[in-house]
Structure 1
Amino acid sequence: MHYIFQNKIKYITPFVAMLVLWGCGEEKPKEQQLADETVITVRLDSVKTASRSEPIRVAGAVASSEEARLSFKIGGIVSKVLVKEGQAVRKGQLLAVLDMTEIDAQVKQAAFAAEKSERDFQRVQNMLNDTAATLEQLQNARTGLDVNRQNLDIARFNQSFARIVSPIDGTVTRKQISEGEFVGPGSPGIVVTSSRRNDWVMRVNVSDKDWARLKIGDLAQVHLDAYPEEIFKGTISSLAQSADPVSKLYQAEIRIDPAGKRFATGLFGKVEISSSQSRTYAVVPVESIIEGNGNTGYVFVNENNKAKKIPVKIGYLDGNSVLISEGLENVKQVVTSGSAFLTDSVELRVKN
């Protein structure tokens, strides 16, 4: 028995030695193993293009197409505010008035100055006739009279604008002044919106690229939070010709058909505008998008056999494809298979 066991060892030992030698011969250098571990095998896919007339989606608030933003021309203390928010008013109705004490005094002061200038002019004219005054003195008196008459006109004009009067029939939608408050010239006072029906609009802000795609008459669908089950028809009625200096956005006005529903200024909603102009998008497989969040995401591209992460702006999904609106202008291929394992600058091995 002992002899048999020794014979088995004798035959097995050379075989094991061969395996060890074979394994040693196949073992790669450590540097090569590390290099293989940092190279990621990926598949590339071509970036295609497609033209789409994608709706422009924005949000805004309902307002009357005729809206009067009223204020005092001059500064002063508010004496009376005769209306409240939500109150119906008529054209020509007095809404608010300033304390007239100082304003009336300025008018009287200007009137006295004009009267004195009139007397001075008459006196110099009589003296000129008696050769007791010169022509230059008469001209100076005439100039003083004209100046003081103009000052009186200005004082009376300001006196007439020390009150706010509604220029239209409508509703007070905003009251931004209170009795006893000091207001400066042109400070926001009272907003009155027209009471005419079917004159409702939604004012929205769009980017320069979306503005370029729009034109007067483009159709829109309006979804209001107040009427979640309703879709209101709209038409673009005006487009701003200059951007807001702060937001850099352009205002578009959409006239809305209320379809018998009760509207009010300030109703919030979203709108989809059907642009008459198509737009070209870069089209990539959905699996190429990583870290997608809303309308932003990233893709990897092959740059000299290294991964490069690029931010993109997502237009919308179309089946198994993603339409990219920004970010892939000069890119011909993106990584699809293997993109989830990549980091910036990692080496790539492209699989055919």
Structure 2
Amino acid sequence: MNSLYNTFRLISSSLLLSLLLIGCNKKDETQQKTAETDEVLVPVSLTKVDQATRSESIVASGLVASSEEARLSFKIGGIIQKVYVTEGQKVSKGQLLASLNTTEIDAQVNQAKYGVEKSERDFKRVENMLKDTAATLEQMQNVTTALDIAKQNLQIAQFNRSYAQIISPIDGAVVKKMGNEGELTGPGTPIFYITSNRQGDWVVRVGVSDKDWARLKVGDKANVQLDAYPTEAFEGRITKLAPAADPMNKLYDIEVRIAPKGKRLATGLFAKVELKPVQSRTYTVVPLEAIVEGNGKEAFIYVLDETRKKVKRLPVQIGFVDGDKVLITNGLEGISEVITSGSAFLTESSTVIVK
């Protein structure tokens, strides 16, 4: 009897243990499935974007230069015989700056002269022979052409001879001298860089984007700050707008003429220019908290995708910050709402819930 009772207790205990293990396994499987199917929902808020039309300033930097400047070179190559000026020296219009050794070019001029003299003799001889019917019309035409060619060669040689020296085309100063006496130089190789020294000829050249270029016109005002005179503000006015972008940096060159106000200016001074276009521009306005990962004028903004459960990360161009608002110049075309609250916790794989 006791043996039968003990056997029954053993079977009951084993059955209870099995049921407990099965229950635990089912609970673990349920928890695993729940963990696999549950997603972390990031609560976010949406804000509608606005449009604003303003005539905002354009800030750019550049260098002071002379509106009249020249890079001077010899028309022909040769050995530099004499340099008459030094760097920094003031020069006058028409002043001789440098000359070449003309031994070779003088020989070329004399050679061309001899060619003309011979062609003239040939022409007269054939002309007399033609009168006596001892020469043909073709021979007369040939010597006439040869005489014309000889005269043109002489004109070329004399022209080159006149450009075996460098003459200053403006009143100014020698900013840079790139050649010295005794050096061999080629045709068109710059020897001098000179700029005008007249007070009213100072300009600042800056580069702007295509959208800013479209807002500007000749005559628009500008404010100029020079690092050399940090406490002074110089007035300026746009005098030139480049018709095409620079192929290297894709920016459009703007020339701003500035009034020195009695200050001594020089080529190469660093300047910060605030351009004031009359034409206005339309911006997209978003709250400051919508901006993530800002770096200068570049930043990112999160918006909802088509499902309104996932997000998209859009790159934008910042025009400027106005208090708690940011004016966007590019990147939000066709977007009506942006994510504000909660944007700092988002990634492109986040699932969101709109509060």
Q: d(CA) in 1 for partners of 2:36 and 2:278?
A: 56
Tell me which residue corresponds to 1:182.
184
Unaligned runs of 5+ in 2: 1-22
Superposition map of 1:308-319 within 5 A: 308-319=312-323
Asked if 1:82 corresponds to 2:67, the answer is: no
Tell me which residue corresponds to 2:338.
334
The 3-state SS of whatever aligns with 1:229 is strand
Asked if 1:321 corresponds to 2:321, the answer is: no
- Structure 1 residue 325, shift from structure 2 partner: 0.9
Q: Residues 226, 329 of structure 1: CA spacing in aligned structure 2 closer, same or farther, 3 A cutoff?
A: same
Asked if 1:271 corresponds to 2:273, the answer is: yes
Give the TM-score taking structure 1 as reference length: 0.88
Asked if 1:289 corresponds to 2:291, the answer is: yes
Q: d(CA) in 2 for partners of 1:243 and 1:158?
A: 36
Deviations 1:77-135 (Å, cap 9, x if unpaired)?
32222211110011111111122122111111111111111111111112212222112
Matching residue's letter, 2:154? L
CA contact (8 A) 2:204 2:256 kept: yes
The 3-state SS of whatever aligns with 1:198 is helix
RMSD: 2.0
Q: d(CA) in 1 for partners of 2:335 and 2:81?
A: 67
Matching residue's letter, 2:317? K
Tell me which residue corresponds to 1:248.
250
Unaligned runs of 5+ in 1: 1-20
Q: d(CA) in 1 for partners of 2:353 and 2:53?
A: 33
Give the TM-score taking structure 2 as reference length: 0.87
Tell me which residue corresponds to 2:61.
59
Q: Residues 294, 35 of structure 1: CA spacing in aligned structure 2 closer, same or farther, 3 A cutoff?
A: farther
- Picking from 199, 214, 220, the partner of 2:222 is 220
Q: d(CA) in 2 for partners of 1:280 and 1:156?
A: 62
Matching residue's letter, 1:53? S
- Structure 1 residue 34, shift from structure 2 partner: 4.6
Percent identical among aligned pairs is 59
Q: Residues 82, 117 of structure 1: CA spacing in aligned structure 2 closer, same or farther, 3 A cutoff?
A: same
- Structure 1 residue 146, shift from structure 2 partner: 0.3
Superposition map of 1:52-201 within 5 A: 52-201=54-203
Q: d(CA) in 1 for partners of 2:180 and 2:34?
A: 81
Tell me which residue corresponds to 1:202.
204
The 3-state SS of whatever aligns with 1:287 is helix
- Structure 1 residue 248, shift from structure 2 partner: 2.5
CA contact (8 A) 2:39 2:351 kept: no
Q: d(CA) in 2 for partners of 1:183 and 1:243?
A: 33
Matching residue's letter, 2:127? Q
Matching residue's letter, 1:130? D
Q: d(CA) in 1 for partners of 2:61 and 2:301?
A: 29
- Structure 1 residue 349, shift from structure 2 partner: 1.3
Count residues in correspondence: 328
Q: Which range is displaced more, 292-301 or 100-109?
A: 100-109
Q: d(CA) in 2 for partners of 1:28 and 1:284?
A: 45
